[in-house]
Structure 1
Amino acid sequence: MTTNKNGIDQQKGTQKASLELLYRISREIATTLDLSTVLERVLSLSLKTIGAISGSIIVLDDNGHPLESAMIVNDQLLSHTNEQLKSTLEEGLAGWVVENRDAVNIPDTSQDERWLRRPDDEVTGAKSVVAVPIMARNDLMGVITLAHPKPHYLQKYHLALVHAIADQAGIAILNAQLYGESERRARVMTALANSATAMSSTLRLETVLDNILKEIQTALQVEAVTLSLIDSEEGNLVYKAAIHDTIDLSSSLVGRKIRIGQGFAGWVAECGEGEIIADTKDDPRFSQTNQLFPKISPYAIVAAPIFIPGKILGVLEAMNPLAGHFQTDALQVLSGIGSLAGSSIRNAQLYEDLEITHSRYHDLFENSIDPIIITDLQGNVIETNNRTLETNQYSEKEIKELSISEIHEIDWEGVGEDFSKLLDVASYSYESNLKTKNSEDIPIHVNVHQIQIANESRLQWILRDISERKKLDQLREDLTSMIFHDLRSPLSNVISSLDVIQASLPGARDQDIQDLFDIANRSTVRIQRLTKSLLDINKLESGRTITNLEEVKPDELIHYAKQALITQSDAKKQNVSLTIPADLPLIHADRDMLERVLINIFQNAIKFTPSKGHIDFGVEADGNSIQFWVQDSGPGVDPEYIDRIFDKYTRIHPDERIKGLGLGLAFCRLAVEGHKGRIWVENLPEGGAKFTFTIPSL
Structure 2
Amino acid sequence: MTLEHSSNDPSLDMRTTALLRIASVIETAATLDELLLLAQVECVQLLDIPFSGVLFVSEDGMRVRLVNAHPPRVNLPPAILLTEAPLLIEVISERRVVQLADLHATPLVEVGSDAARLLRQLLDQEHLCSLLLLPLIAQDHVIGLIIFATIDQQRHFSERDMALARLMTGQLAAAITSFRTTEQAERRTSELATLNEISAAVTSSLNARDIYHLVMEKLNEYFQVDAGSLLMIDPETHELVFVMTLEAGEEKLFGVRVPQGQGIVGMVAQTQRYAIIHNAQQDPRFYAKVSESVNYVVHTILCVPIIVKARTIGVIELLNKRDGVFTEQEADRLMRMAATIGVALENAHLFQEVTTVRDRFEAILNSTNDGILMADMHGMVVTTNPMAAQLFGCGKESLIGRPISELLAELKARAIAVSSPSWLNEQNGSDQVVEVELSAGRFVRHYTLPVREANGAEIGRLALFQDISKERELAQLREDYTGMLVHDLRAPLTAIMNGIMMVKRGMGGPVSEQQHELLAIAHQGSQAMLEMVNTLLDISKMEQGHMALDVELISPYALVDQPLDRLVASARNHHVALEQHLEADLPLIEADRDKLVRVLQNLLDNAIKFSPTGTTVTLGGAALTVGDEVWNHPHVLPIPLEVPPLRSGTWLIFWVRDQGPGIPVQYHERIFEKFGQVRGRKVRGTGLGLTFCKLAIESHGGKIWLQSAEGAGSIFAFALPVAAHLASQA
Q: What TM-score range do you get, normalising by the shorter chain? A: 0.5 to 0.7
Q: 1:584 to 1:302 in 2, by over 3 A?
A: closer
Indicate if the aligned counterparts of 2:444 and 2:467 stay in contact, CA closer than 8 A: yes
- Residue 329 of structure 1 aligns to a residue whose secondary structure is helix
Q: What CA distance in whole angstroms lies between the structure 2 residues aligned with 1:596 and 1:319? A: 84
Report whether the alignment pairs 1:194 with 2:193: yes
Alignment pair present for 1:681 and 2:706: yes
* 1:576 alignment partner in structure 2: 578
Pick one of 627, 639, 646 that aligns with 2:653: 627
Answer whether contact 1:88 1:94 (CA < 8 A) is retained. no
Residues 58-108 of structure 1, C-alpha deviations (whole Å, 9 max, x = no match)? 98665784648899xxxxxxx96558999776434798899999999xxxx
Deviation per residue, 1:414-449 (Å, 9 max, x gap): 999xxx977xxxxx7x7543566x787324474623
Q: How many residues align?
A: 582
2:613 paired residue number:
612
How many Å separate the matches in 2 of 1:33 and 1:506? 131
One of 226, 229, 248 as aligned partner of 2:229: 226
Contact 1:224-1:319 within 8 A present in 2 as well: yes
C-alpha separation in 1, matches of 2:180 and 2:721: 99
Read off the aligned partner of 2:192 and give its amino acid letter.
A
User: Does the C-alpha gap of structure 1 residues 464 and 652 become closer, same or farther in structure 2, counting only changes over 3 Å?
Assistant: farther
Give the residue type in structure 1 aligned to 2:716: F
Alignment partners' CA distance in 2, 1:88 and 1:553: 113
Instruction: Report the Cα distance in structure 1 between the residues aligned to 2:501 and 2:288, rounded to whole angstroms.
Output: 102
Q: Distance in 2 between matches of 1:102 and 1:382?
A: 79
Deviation at 1:531, TM superposition (A): 5.7
SS of aligned partner of 1:372: strand
Give the 3-state SS of the residue equivalent to 2:669 in structure 1.
helix
CA drift of 1:646 comes to 4.5
Q: Distance in 1 between matches of 2:424 and 2:349?
A: 39
Residue 594 of structure 2 aligns with an amino acid whose one-letter code is D
| CA-to-aligned-CA distance 1:1-37 (integer Å, 9 cap, x gap) | xxxxxxxxxxxxxxxxxxxxxxxxxxxx999968999
Q: In the alignment, what sits opposite 1:559?
A: 561
* Alpha-carbon distance change, 657 to 32 in structure 1, aligned in 2, over 3 angstroms: same
| Counterpart position of 1:337 | 337
1:123 corresponding residue in structure 2:
none
Alpha-carbon shift at residue 306 of structure 1 (Å): 3.7
Distance in 2, Cα, partners of 1:413 & 1:476:
19
Query: Residue 382 of structure 2 aligns to which amino acid in structure 1?
Result: I
1:612 Cα shift? 2.7
Quote the offset at 1:618 in angstroms.
1.5
Cα distance change, pair 98–327 in 1 and its aligned pair in 2 (3 A): farther
Partner of 1:91: 125
Shift of 1:570: 4.0
TM-score, length of structure 2 as denominator length: 0.62
The 8 Å contact of residues 379 and 405 in structure 1, kept in 2 or not, is answered as no
| Match of residue 448 from structure 1 | 449
The code of the aligned residue for 1:190 comes to T
Q: Distance in 2 between matches of 1:593 and 1:102?
A: 113
User: What is the root-mean-square deviation in Å for CA atoms of aligned residues?
Assistant: 5.5
How far apart, in 2, do the equivalents of 1:340 and 1:302 lie? Answer: 18
Cα gap change, 1:590 to 1:681, in 2 (>3 Å): same
Q: Is the partner of 2:604 in helix, strand or coil?
A: helix
Structure 2 stretches of 5 or more lacking a match? 1-25, 39-49, 57-63, 78-117, 135-146, 154-163, 413-417, 625-649
Q: Does the 8 A contact of 1:264 with 1:285 survive in 2?
A: no
Would the aligned equivalents of 1:620 and 1:626 in 2 still touch at CA under 8 Å? yes
Taking structure 1 as reference, are residues 577 and 65 closer, same or farther at Cα in structure 2, changes over 3 Å only?
Answer: same
Q: Structure 1 residues 60, 254: CA separation in 2 closer, same or farther (over 3 Å shift)?
A: farther
* Cross-structure match for 1:459: 461
Aligned partner of residue 718 in structure 2, secondary structure: strand
SS of residue in 2 equivalent to 1:651:
coil
What is the CA distance between 1:568 and its match in structure 2?
3.9
Cα pair distance change 1:510/1:237, threshold 3 Å = closer
**Is the CA contact 1:227–1:316 (under 8 Å) kept in the aligned structure 2?**
yes
Cα deviation per residue 1:509-530 (whole Å; 9 max; x = unaligned)? Answer: 9866665675566556556655
> How far did residue 459 of structure 1 move?
1.8
Q: Secondary structure at the match of 2:324?
A: coil
Alignment partner of 1:381 is 2:415? no
Sequence identity of aligned pairs in percent? 23
CA distance in structure 2 between the partners assigned to 1:414 and 1:381 by the alignment:
29
In the alignment, the residues of structure 1 paired with residue 687 and residue 65 of structure 2 have an alpha-carbon distance, to the nearest angstrom, of: 95
Describe the shift of the 1:586–1:531 C-alpha distance in structure 2 as closer, same or farther (beyond 3 A): farther
Amino acid across the alignment from 1:476:
R
How do 1:153-232 and structure 2 match up within 5 A?
185=184, 187-201=186-200, 202-203=202-203, 206-230=209-233
Please list the CA deviations of residues 613-658 of structure 1 after superposition, one character each: whole Å capped at 9, or x if unmatched. Answer: 64514132314444333334555556555336545x4333589896
Task: Report the Cα offset of residue 335 of structure 1.
Answer: 3.1
Among candidates 666, 671, 677, match of residue 652 of structure 1? 677
Paired residue secondary structure (1:252): coil
Instruction: Map 1:353-432; keep pairs closer than 5 Å.
Output: 353-389=353-389, 394-400=394-400, 401=402, 403=404, 405-406=408-409, 431-432=433-434
| Cα distance in 1, alignment partners of residues 169 and 351 from structure 2 | 54
Structure 1's 353 and 136: CA in aligned 2 closer, same or farther, altered over 3 A? farther
**Do residues 642 (structure 1) and 642 (structure 2) align?**
no
Number of the residue aligned with 1:3: none
Deviation at 1:375, TM superposition (A): 1.8
Query: Kindly tell me: are residues 485 and 664 of structure 1, through their superposed partners in 2, closer, same or farther at Cα, counting changes over 3 Å?
Result: farther
Alignment map for 1:459-608 (pairs within 5 Å): 459-487=461-489, 505=507, 529=531, 533=535, 541-543=544-546, 545-547=548-550, 549=552, 551-580=553-582, 585-606=587-608, 608=609
Q: Secondary structure at the match of 1:190?
A: helix
Which residue is equivalent to 1:130?
none
TM-score using structure 1 length: 0.64
Contact 1:627 1:693 in 2 (8 A): yes
Change (3 A) 1:329 1:661: closer
What CA distance in whole angstroms lies between the structure 1 residues aligned with 2:475 and 2:661?
30
Q: Letter of the 1:450 partner, please give it.
A: V
Tell me, yes or no, if the aligned pair for 1:380 and 1:402 is still in contact at 8 Å. yes
The 1:366–1:348 alpha-carbon spacing in structure 2 relative to 1, beyond 3 Å, is same
Give the whole-Å Cα distance in 2 for the aligned partners of 1:328 and 1:534.
83
